Each structure stands twice: as structure tokens, then as C-alpha cells.
Structure 1
Amino acid sequence: IILSAINASNDIATIISTRYSNLKKNMIENIALEENIKAMEEYHSLCLASLKERKYSKAYAYALASWSLGMVYYSEVMRLVNEPAIISVFFFFLLIPSVFFIERITLQFEGLKRLFTILIIASLILVIFYFLHPSLRLVANIPIAYLGLSTLLFFGIVGIVLTKSAIEMGSMIRRKILKHHVVERERTSIIIHSVHVAMGNIRRRKFLSILLFLTIIIIVLSMVSLTSIESFVTLKRTELPVEARYNGIYMRKGMKTTKDFLSYSIIEYLRSMVGDRGAVAPRLWYYPQSVFGDQVFAYLEAKDKKTVIYAALGLSPGEFKYNELFRSSIVEGRGFDEYDYYACILADKVSEKLNVSVGDWVWWQGMKLKVVGIVASDVINSYLDLDQESIMPFNPNLMVATLKKSVPGGSDSYVPLSASEVLILPHNLVKRLGGHVSSISIYLKEEGEDIARTIAMSLDLEVYYSYNGKVSLFSRLPAYEFRGLAFILIPLLIGSGTILNSMLNVLKMREREMSIYSALGLPPSGVIFLFLGELLVFAFISTLVGYTLGLLFNHILKAFNVLPETFIVNYTSMAVLFSMIFAMAATLIPSIYPIYKAARLVTPSLARKWELPTKPRGDEWEIPLPFVFTNILEAGGALLFLYEYAELHKRETVEKFIIREVKFDPEVPSVDIVLSLAPYEAKIITKATITVIRRGDRHFLDIMLRRLSGVYDTWVLSSRNFIDAIRKQLLVWRSLKPEMRREYIDKFSSKRFK
């Protein structure tokens, strides 16, 4: 393949430029990305100019720079393409319930007329959205996404209907088995009813509803049209208070796994990038093969002596040419030059142990190596690069022990080796052995901040740059810029206050209505659903209308050049989600207090659950139940109802107890029950006696529990489930129709007075 890097650079530059131009025509822009694309195109132009002048090395360097930057910016351009499509799908999702609410509030048709009306309203809004939002023009398969979402909604509705039918079938079977003793909560019906009631309240209070709609619409409109959110990739520069040992650039990764090492292709890229402005000096690590998977080492031999070497460090000639510390560390001989291959540099302690000097030969892993230099171990061990880390390889045996769990993991597992445990080889030889690039230094002859920035942006590495004694760290990170937010904070607070005041007024006007719901048995959660249903109707419709009007307002302001050129229209997902969050928050947060007040109207007491009024005394526990009966016959009917409930639970059911024995005595009257309490493996058996107690002219029910077996603390906890089940059955008794209660009262009367 001829000029593959240049062709790749040309292709990626053409794709990015074409797609961004198309985005810009549709008012989708990103100023920071646009500047970055210009930098990429500049490198590409320099590449073509160098190629025309037959300066192939420079052309290759510029091609790699343009190519690497293009790979970064391509993802940013595709994000600008994809996010409007995501917003379009989200808009359609918002549209589906909103058009239903709009039709119910305004027209209220029935049958097919209602269906056609909803479809017409949705179609009109989508046509308006098509001309205001570019996603339908940029992404051809958006209608398929709409169809998929509609299909998903359809199957969701079918699933809900089938699930509800299955639940009703199960409830029917339960009622057949348990008769009138089934306790059911129709939360789904309450939620659906709350939405219908909410729309009815909106219709009845037209003026107040219009004010709330306008408030939320203005909040969303201002968020969309008067604020701008721009996301981009930028470089963060951090000044480091460390010593600069040389003028240059340094980069590395984690190096704790093979995935953390740098690739060899980066070396060629950096050499092409730097050119004659400096020298690229890669550092490579190589570990010998482990011995029986336990120890990692290889013997370095000379004459009749040997020593253990745990790793090899590959260095380039540039280290000894441009780095003063490496030059000063040489106590004998020289550093590597470009012609060295089967050569090595030993630490002074190793040379003393082997009794070798410069010019001698040593053997390591079957290779005969010539000693060209000896370095001071203390100097090499004390060397810290720009990141304040040692360049020496990590101790492999500590890492192996960590993997085998024989020593704890952590930072102590990655300890650098001493120079006396490492063999220094030419980097080309270490590369052939299979070594990994641990870090790279670039020794610059002149100022090169532009190179450091380009490397950090294109390779997504933390890049250290030092010049004239100062060290900086460049790192790539995503950033967001908000414009216009300060101008709408005060209107946003005013709008939230308006919503709070409106909801308090609604609460005041509906106190009587809440009292009626409370008399009909509506729990506090039902009141919350009523208010939340109304708020969600406001939020959905207002957000849909506000976002659409915001887009229209943007087009008008752009057409008359009211907005500044740097203003970015909110087509991105972050902007829309930000608007949605603000709209929902501005609607729901001010309504928390009114909803709390409404729930208190239904249950004025602070207690939301029934608490047991007594505590056990030893193995006995007497609990008075909070129910009052006017005469002995009514109390006896309720007792007979509980007896029937106990008879039905002589087998395992969903309740956390099993009835063993049950006896009804109409004379006392009372019900004696012997039952096992969950957990059944704890063998908790208790006797419960439910008795009618007369106090004055009224009658009450008391439960007396006696522990027969089982751990005391477990008995106390498990008994609460049985007591609560009896209490709920008496609530069911209260909810029965009068003729049903009369049947039980008559049965009790016939047993008592037979």
C-alpha cells in the first residue's frame, strides 16, 4: 500500500470536514471542536505541502499527527450527529403522553374520533418539529426509531393489559379460596384514576391552569433559547512543583499490566512528529521466563561466576547523549551508540561481583554480550523522572506473589528493582526479546509546548513537559461551557415561587375535596398520586410545548441576528436533559410542601402506621385491638369472621404463619388458635386467644398470645405478623357490605342461642 498513512489522514480529514460542514448548515456547531478541526486540517495541509516538496519524513510526521487528531475529533463529530437523533427519539417519547393529555383536556372525543384526533395533533407537532430540528434531515432512519418506539409502546400496553388480566384471574382464584378474606390494594387503579382526576381539575380551573402552564413553558423556553451548553475536549495544564532534569517531554502509563504499556507504533509517530527538533528515547522492560511459574529471574554469567538478574532495561543512545544524569552515572566506559546491539551496561555492584570490566564478555539467556559501560548503582537508583517515579522495572516476584495471594496486594506489590538487579541493554535488542515500552522521553533542542499539546490530545496520555526548569502536566478531559445561565436564574426562582403559591392555593380550594376522599378511605399515598398526576400532566405538556417554542424562538433570534455568533443552539442531549431537569425540578420541588400538607389532611396524625400499644410480659402478650362494636352480636360476627379466616390458613399460604388448631366458643365468645410462626425452622409455636371484652355499653376484641416453644426474641418479632394480619382482617370486616356482615352475625346468633 503506497502512502497509507497519508491516505488515511486524507480520508479522515475529508470525512470530518464534510460532516461538520453539513452539521453547521443545520445550526449544529461546536466552537472548540471547530478550532481543533482547523488544527487537524493545518497538519493535513502541511503533509500535502511536504509531500509535494518531496520532504517525505516531514510529510509522514504531519500525516500521523493529522490522522491521530482526526481519530479523536471524529468521535466528537459523530457525537454531534448522534445526539440530535437521540433527542428526536426522546421528543417522540415525550410527545406520546402529551398528545393524549392535550386531547383529554381540550376536546374530549370518544371512540375512533378520539384516536384520529390524537394522531392529527401528533402529526402536526411532528411536522413543526421537522422544520425546527435538524435530526430528521440528518439521520435517515429516525422514522424507523419512531416506529420501533411506537411498537414498543403498543406491546407495553398489551403487556399491561395481559398482566392486569392475569392479576385479576389470580385475585379471582384467591377470592374463591379465601372468600371475603382477601386484602387487595388497587394501586394501578388509583394511579390511572389520579391522572383522570388531574385532567378534570385542570379543565375546571382554567385560569389557574393556564398560569401554571405558562410559567413552566416560559422556564423551558428560556432554558432552550436563552442558554447554551457546549461540550468539547480540551487540555488541562497543571504546573508541578518538581525538578526539571532536562528540557523535553515525558509520557508513561500504569505499567501494572501488559495493557498499560505503550505501543511500538507510538515511537515512530513521535519520531516523525519531533523530527530534527529533538530525540525520542524509548525505555523498554523485559522479564525473563519464570521458573516453574514461581520465581522470575535469569543468571548473568561471566567466566566462573554468576549473579541473578530479574529484568532487563532497554535504553536508547539518546539517554546518554542528552540526559546529564545518565552521563554522570557512567563510572567506566561509555553509553550506547546507534551501532550497539549485543552489548550491555552493568551496575558497579554487578561488575564487582562478576569481576568484569569494560570490554569483557558476559552471557545472559543464551546471548553473548559485550560490556560497554559501568554505571553507579546509587545514581541510577536515585533517578526520578518528571513524574517523580523511577524508570527501573518493577520487582516481578512481588507481583507474582500478589497474583498467588501469598502477600497482600496494593502499591507495595509494585516496587522498582535496584540497578544491581537489572541488566541494561540496547532498546532494539530488548524489543526483539519481546520487551514492553514502559515510558518515552523526548529530549528537545528548543521550546516544544506545541508538540506536548498535540501528543496529549492525539494519544490521550498524561504528558509531562519541562522547559527552563518548569514542569507542566497536560491531560485530556471533556469540558462543558454554559452560556446565559446567570440571566435566567432569577426568573427561574420567580417561576418556582409562582408554582409553590399556585399549588398552595389549589390545596386551599380542595380541602373539602380531600376530606371527602378521606371519608371514602383514600390513603395518604392516594392523595400524593392525585397531586403528582396533575403535576406530571403540567410537566409533560409544558416541556413539550416549551421546547418546541424554544427552538422556534432560536430560529427567529438567529434570523434577526439577535443572538451572538458564538451562541450554540440547544440540539445536544445535555442541553435538553438540562432543560428537562430544570423544568421538572421547578415543577416538583416547590410542590413537595403542598403535597405533604394534602397528605396530612387525610391523616392528620403524625403516625402513619398502627403501633402495638402493649409489650409482652414474660411468655404472655395481651394486645387490645383498635375496633369498637356496638353490641355482642356484631362483635361475635366479627369473631366468627376471624374463625373462618383461621380455618382457611391450616395450610401454607402467603402469610407468615400456619394454623395448627382452631376452636370457636360462642358462649364466651372467643377463638382459640394454635399456630406456627415463620421462620418455621425456628419451631416457634404460640397459642392465640381472641376474646370479646365488654367495657361499659361497648364491646372490644383482645388478643392474648402465649409462647409454647421457640426463642423468645424471635417469638416477639414473628408474632407481629400474626397480629397485623388479624388487624387487617377486621379492616376487611368493616369494608364488607351490610348484608354480608349480617350473614356472619346471624350465624353467630344461631350458634350462641341455639
Structure 2
Amino acid sequence: QVEIIFLCLYRIALTPNLYKEYLSSFSYEQTVNRRELPYTSTIRGRVAIYNATVGWYTGVPNALLAFISKGGRVFVEMTDESGFFSISHVQGGTWSAFKLNESTGNLIYAPDFGVYKYPSLVLTKWGPEVDIGFYTVFKCGTAVLFDLMDPSFLQIPPMDGGQVLLSIYEHDTHSAPTSFGSSVQFLMREGYAVATVYLPPDVPIEILLKTGYALKMPLAFLINASGESSEGAGYRLREGEQYIFTYTALRLAEDLYWVNNGYLQTAERYQLGGGFAKKHDSIRGFIEQAKDMLKSRRYDMAYHYSIMAWAFGRDVYLGLRGLIEDSVNAIVYVIAMMLPFIFLFERLVFHAEGLKRILSLIGVSLFFISLLSFLHPGFIVASNIMMVIVSFIVVILVLMVIAVFFSIFSSAVKRLAIRMRGMHFAEISKGDAAVMSFSVGVENLRKRKSKLLLTLFSIIIVVMALVMFTSTSTITLVQPLPAGEHPPYQGIYVKRLDWGKLQHQVGENAVRQLRIICGEDAIVTPRIWVHPINPADPSLRFTLSYKNNNITFHAMIGMTPEEINNAIIQSAVIAGRWFLPTDRWTCILTEKQAERLGITELPAEVTLLGRKFIVTGIVDGNIFDDIREMDGEAITPLDATQERIWSIHFPSEDNLIIGYRDALLLGGRIVSVSARFSNSSLISEAAKVFSGAFSGLAIYSGVGDFIYLNTKMRRISIHGLEMQAIPLGIAILILFNLMLGEVYGRKR
């Protein structure tokens, strides 16, 4: 390998005009001279498939190449009989290539992101003509997925934590196939993503849904699991086949359920259920209810139960995976404690020398590891326990080698110091002293074998009694934390922490889920904020016109007709009326806004963004500004011009009140949702259910005179400790008495 690398580097170094012809485009100092280069370029290339028989790429005829330029223009070109293509008048952009079955319209070739992906734009220079080389495709089957999101947020994963990532693996080896591909489309308003996955034909494949903060523990997976096989069988597609994962959320929840079921059965064999069995059974209930709703064609309820099963299923998955990993990690600790015990046991029982000592150490090690494998659950739940043991032994051996080198280095330094300064005092190394103490101690123990056995049995019995009657475990629960007093209404308020930093919304999913959970006992009212394209730019403002008068403002708030049930909003309306369910393209002004526009009679027609709006009412801006939600903040849009401050809101004079559906059509984001209950006794249970499933949201509840922030948290539960105080004291005295007896016994 070193020789090959050297030859490659030697060849590259001898390439004529290497920097000028090939590497100059990588220079950050290079600028484009418009006199020498035109604004547009002609891009040439070849759509090809890697031919393993000849070890190189073979052109794909009649493939479609789509090029999307920086300006958003789409160019589509078909390759010739050799796979070549040419697109003119473009500069920069992205491209992709496909080939369709002319009879069925299904994909038969798709972009290859695997090991044969050709590194486009490497060693090329943009100019009048650009050759991108090969664009690699492969023969594939196609799978379509929906509802890709983080169920705890009911939304696409946050931008700062990573987007939706699809990992495609061969099911048998859990490694990436040679060729694969995918494309993901994000539907921000709906709160989920859809994806098309390109899979190698006739290979069982599993698909993992991940994000930046869930790489090790995926959000979900599709492995085709069942009651007969919790590990699944994967999905095998034929060439040109298109498979649609209908009810994707339900399929994800089912696979999570069966995997958890396998984990739970293994864990309960060793009494390690950890309280997950009850929640696991409830997930099965959600899945069955979702299937029943599908049979009844109540798709909204089926989706609700699917999302609930997915959210709770991932909670159980995280808990069981953590429990299993803790069990496996405990093996490393146990083996670390076993190492000195093995040396002690061999010295006490066999006391061999030379080769016999090595064989006795190996035999003792194998015996106790075999015994431990029957007693410790980590040996069963670990996917490859021998790798854990071998890895730990390798680490120990490496540490021993490092210790030897350090000892040699220390000895050399000491010899050098003695040569230069002379011997000042005699000393023995701490390691030699420890080994000598160990040997002397073992020899003393061997002289009194019967007393040694009695002492060891006494210590073992006392320690086992303490350990077996005490256990420590973690429990996850929804804990309502006090967040204030005197709630503005009796109900539930849902938002994103720091308003999602205006990158992500609460989303329509949260509105639907809250409506279903609260039922007919509550009035659910979502709110929308509409900001300019760049909310942080204070110069960007909306303009509202009436006759010859104009006013400008930074943002808009979309509100529903049901908001009139709020007594404060009722008192704020001083002229006209609030929104009606039948209203379209209507708005409400503050008293000062109406005065500046010169509006004296209602309804009045105004112009916003080139569209006619009808002013139906006027509100008192001071009263509207005083409205506070359960988090203590105003309901008006966030002032995003304040850098990294997520609690300052625009005054009512600097925003416009419009209808909820109109705000959606203008591209607004659902930032919060409220549920006002007529029966306050139902609030706590609804908040508990919603918080337990969707813990990524900030969920407030107003009950009586208090406001609570419902948070999911983990607590450490120690069972039996309250009963161990007196036995623990007795055990300490027993061990102390044994040690004293040993000391005085040697004195005699």
C-alpha cells in the first residue's frame, strides 16, 4: 500500500502544469474575470453506470439529466446513445440524472451515492465549457416514505440539530450497500418530510431515520419486523419496482414496537424491565386503535394513534437501549474487578510456577467468565460479547506495554541523575513495593486456609445480602413544574422553546394532536406570525394602503374567529367586529393605525401585498399589548431584529392582525396553540398525555390559580435503601470485626 501511494504521489507531482490546469480552481484568492469568462457556461458530462466486469464506467443511453441553475431555472436534457449530454447557458447549480421504464414510467436508474459515485467537479475549472465527468447512476428499485419527522417535536428536526437523515443499510450485514441513493423534500408548513429512496434490487434493505442529535439512537427505522422476528427481514425490491410505504408513521411505530418487544423479553428474563412493560403494552393498544380507525376510514384518528404509538415507542426504545448498554458496560467493570481476583485466586489455590502458572491463570479466567455468562444479563443482550471482552483485554495489554515503556524511561532518567549527582538514598519503586506486598499477603493467607475460607464466606454473604436487597433504576415521568400564578385562562398553551428561533414552528401536526387529545371539552386556537423574508433586517417592512395614506409595520399575526371567546379580546374590540369563520382576506387595525390611515367607517377596503383586504374591526392597541400568555410574554409577533433575544415582541402598532387562514396563505408560521377548557378538572390529564408523547415542545397548563410547565424528566429511584440503614451498620461492624480479628490473629 505504501508503494502504491508513493507511485501515485510521484505521478501527480510530475504532472505538467498541475496547479494551473487542475488545482487553480481550488484557490480562494482566485476571482472570475468577466472579460475572459462569459456569464454562462456550457456543461458537458456523461451519465454512466459502473461496470464491475471492465472496472470502469459505461454510458447510459436515453437518461434524463435535470439541471437546476442558481436562478432556479430547470434544464432537462436526454443523453445520447453513449450517455453524453450537453447543457448550454448555465452557471452553477445542481443536477441529477434518472432513467425511466418507457412502458411503466417507473425509475430503473437513479443517482448513485455509494462507493462508485464519481467525484464531480474535482480537478475542473469553471469556464466557457465545463466537463463534470461522469454522473453515476445504478439500477434500482424505488421506495417512497411519508411523515418523516421527530415525533417528540411533531415537526421536522430543528435546523441547529440537523435535518432528516436517511441511512440505508443491507439488513444482513447492517452496512451500507455498494450502491444506493435518496432524495428528501421538506414540507415545512405541514411539519414533515417525504422521501424517495433508491435501493439496489434483490437485496434485503433496512432504512434508518436519523438526525444530527439522533445518530446513535435513530428516530425510527423500517426493517420489516414482526412477532416472529423482532430483528426483521428487511425490504427486498425488484429492479424497476416502486414500493410505497402507505401509512408510514404506523409502519415506523410497528417496527419500533416489535424491536422493543424483543428487547423487553430479554430484559425481563433477568428482571430488568425497568417499568417499561406497561408503556409498551399501551403502544400495542395505540397500534390496534390506528388499524381499527383505518378500517373505519377515520384517517385523522388513525394518524393520531400512529403518531402516539411512534412517540411512546421511541421513548421505550431509548429506555431499553440505555438499559441494555448499561448492562453491557457493566461487564467491563466486572472484568476489571475480576483481574486482580484471578491473580489472587490462582496464588491461593494453585500457586503454580512457570508454564503451569500461565495455564492455571487461563483456566481460572475461562471458568469465572463462563460462570459470569450464566449470571449476568449483559452476556445475553450484547450483540457480540466476545468483542467486548477481547477489546477490554487489548486495552489492558496496551496499558501494560505503556507502563513498561514508562518504567524503562523512568529508570533511564534515574540512572542519568545518579551519574550526574550521585546516589543520595536507596529506594524501591512503588510498583515493586505493591507486588511484594501482594506476594507477602498471599503467603500469609495460605498459612491459615480454614480461617481464610471462613473470612471470605463471611464477606461474600454480607455483601451479597446488601446488594440483592437494594436496587437502583431510572424512571421517566412528566413533572409539572410551577411557572407562575394567575393564569390568563384555564387550559393548555403549547409553543417552541425560544420560539424555535423563528426557524421552526409548532406546526399543524401539534394543532391536530391537541384538538384530538382535548376533544370537545376545549376550544383550540392556534396563532400564526408572518415576518418578512429576512426577519432580522429592520429595514424590511410591510406596507398597508388606504386611498392616499400608507402605514408600515414589521410583522402580522394570524388569529382565529374563536379568539373572541377571550374576554380580554372582547374588551379590546372598540369598533366593528372580530373575525367570522366565513371571512376571507380581512384584517383588524388598532385605533392609531386606523387614525393614521384616515379610516372612519367600517368596513373599509385597504391594500396589502397587492391584494385587497377588508377592515372589519378596530381594537384598542393598549389593551391588545397587555394580553399575556401563560409564559408571561405578549401574543404579538417576536421582534427578530433583536439579536439572539427571544422574548421581545413588536407592539400592536407595529403589526397587523389578519385572519388565520389568510396568514397561512401568506406563508406564516404556526408559533403557538392554546386550548381553553370549560371543565378545569380535565386539564391536568390532557397536559400529562400531550407532554408524555411530545416532550420536545414547551407545554404550559393553567389549573386553578397556578401555571405549570409540564416537563418530561428522568429520576433515579433507589429501592430498599430505607430498609438498609440498620443492616448496613451491622454489616460494617461485622466486616470491621473480621479485619480486627485477622490483625490480632497474626499478632499471636
Following TM superposition, by how much is the alpha carbon of 1:348 offset from its aligned partner in structure 2, in angstroms?
Answer: 2.0
**Structure 1 letter corresponding to 2:248:** S
| 1:63-88 CA distance string (max 9 Å, x none) | 22222221222211222332222222
Over 3 Å counting, the alpha-carbon distance change for 1:298 and 1:149 in structure 2 is same
Alignment map for 1:272-283 (pairs within 5 Å): 272-274=516-518, 276-283=520-527
Separation of aligned partners in 1, 2:613 and 2:297 = 41
- The question of 1:38 aligning with 2:249 is answered no
**Structure 2 letter corresponding to 1:379:** I
| 1:430-455 CA distance string (max 9 Å, x none) | 44555444322123465354432221
| Equivalent residue, structure 2, for 1:64 | 307
- Indicate the SS of the match to 1:396: coil
| Equivalent residue, structure 2, for 1:452 | 687
Following TM superposition, by how much is the alpha carbon of 1:150 offset from its aligned partner in structure 2, in angstroms?
Answer: 0.8
Over 3 Å counting, the alpha-carbon distance change for 1:502 and 1:220 in structure 2 is closer
- The question of 1:133 aligning with 2:337 is answered no
Over 3 Å counting, the alpha-carbon distance change for 1:118 and 1:437 in structure 2 is farther
Alignment map for 1:401-440 (pairs within 5 Å): 414-431=647-664, 433-440=666-673
Following TM superposition, by how much is the alpha carbon of 1:506 offset from its aligned partner in structure 2, in angstroms?
Answer: 7.0
Query: Please, which of 614, 619, 630 is the counterpart of residue 386 of structure 1?
Result: 630
| Greater RCO, 1 or 2 (C-alpha within 8 Å, sep 6+) | 1
Count, aligned residues: 499
Over 3 Å counting, the alpha-carbon distance change for 1:292 and 1:119 in structure 2 is closer
- Indicate the SS of the match to 1:255: helix
| 1:407-462 CA distance string (max 9 Å, x none) | xxxx8x73333222222233444445554443221234653544322210111144
Over 3 Å counting, the alpha-carbon distance change for 1:468 and 1:180 in structure 2 is closer
**Structure 2 letter corresponding to 1:30:** G
Following TM superposition, by how much is the alpha carbon of 1:194 offset from its aligned partner in structure 2, in angstroms?
Answer: 4.3
Structure 2, unmatched stretches of 5+, are 1-244
Farther-moved stretch of structure 1 (147-156 vs 15-24): 15-24
* Higher helix residue share: 1
Query: Please, which of 235, 252, 258 is the counterpart of residue 8 of structure 1?
Result: 252
Separation of aligned partners in 1, 2:741 and 2:492 = 67
Separation of aligned partners in 2, 1:212 and 1:307 = 91
Separation of aligned partners in 2, 1:187 and 1:299 = 82
**Structure 2 letter corresponding to 1:477:** M
- Indicate the SS of the match to 2:629: coil
Separation of aligned partners in 2, 1:431 and 1:367 = 15
TM-score (ref. length: structure 2)? 0.59
Separation of aligned partners in 2, 1:192 and 1:363 = 91
Separation of aligned partners in 2, 1:281 and 1:96 = 64
Separation of aligned partners in 2, 1:253 and 1:172 = 67
1:310 and 1:396 in contact (8 A); partners too: no
1:381 and 1:419 in contact (8 A); partners too: yes
Structure 1, unmatched stretches of 5+, are 404-410, 513-754
**Structure 2 letter corresponding to 1:12:** L
Alignment map for 1:319-338 (pairs within 5 Å): 319-320=563-564, 322-338=565-581
Query: Please, which of 109, 123, 129 is the counterpart of residue 366 of structure 2?
Result: 123
Separation of aligned partners in 2, 1:369 and 1:511 = 102
TM-score (ref. length: structure 1)? 0.59
| Equivalent residue, structure 1, for 2:727 | 491
| Equivalent residue, structure 1, for 2:222 | none
Same amino acid, percent of matched pairs: 22
- The question of 1:164 aligning with 2:399 is answered no
Following TM superposition, by how much is the alpha carbon of 1:246 offset from its aligned partner in structure 2, in angstroms?
Answer: 3.6
Separation of aligned partners in 1, 2:383 and 2:509 = 38
Following TM superposition, by how much is the alpha carbon of 1:130 offset from its aligned partner in structure 2, in angstroms?
Answer: 1.8
Separation of aligned partners in 1, 2:432 and 2:612 = 86
* Higher strand residue share: 2
Separation of aligned partners in 2, 1:489 and 1:451 = 40
**Structure 1 letter corresponding to 2:571:** S
- The question of 1:375 aligning with 2:604 is answered no
Over 3 Å counting, the alpha-carbon distance change for 1:161 and 1:467 in structure 2 is closer
| 1:439-496 CA distance string (max 9 Å, x none) | 2212346535443222101111443334677755432111233222222221212222
Query: Please, which of 689, 706, 712 is the counterpart of residue 476 of structure 1?
Result: 712
- Indicate the SS of the match to 2:724: helix
| Equivalent residue, structure 2, for 1:285 | 529
Separation of aligned partners in 1, 2:738 and 2:504 = 59
Alignment map for 1:239-258 (pairs within 5 Å): 242-255=485-498, 257-258=501-502
Q: Which structure has the bigger radius of gyration?
A: 1
Separation of aligned partners in 2, 1:293 and 1:241 = 34
- Indicate the SS of the match to 2:309: helix
Alignment map for 1:108-119 (pairs within 5 Å): 108-119=351-362
RMSD: 3.5
Alignment map for 1:85-124 (pairs within 5 Å): 85-124=328-367
1:309 and 1:422 in contact (8 A); partners too: yes
| Equivalent residue, structure 1, for 2:558 | 314
**Structure 2 letter corresponding to 1:24:** E
Separation of aligned partners in 1, 2:321 and 2:577 = 53
Separation of aligned partners in 1, 2:424 and 2:541 = 77
- Indicate the SS of the match to 2:498: coil
Separation of aligned partners in 1, 2:740 and 2:469 = 30
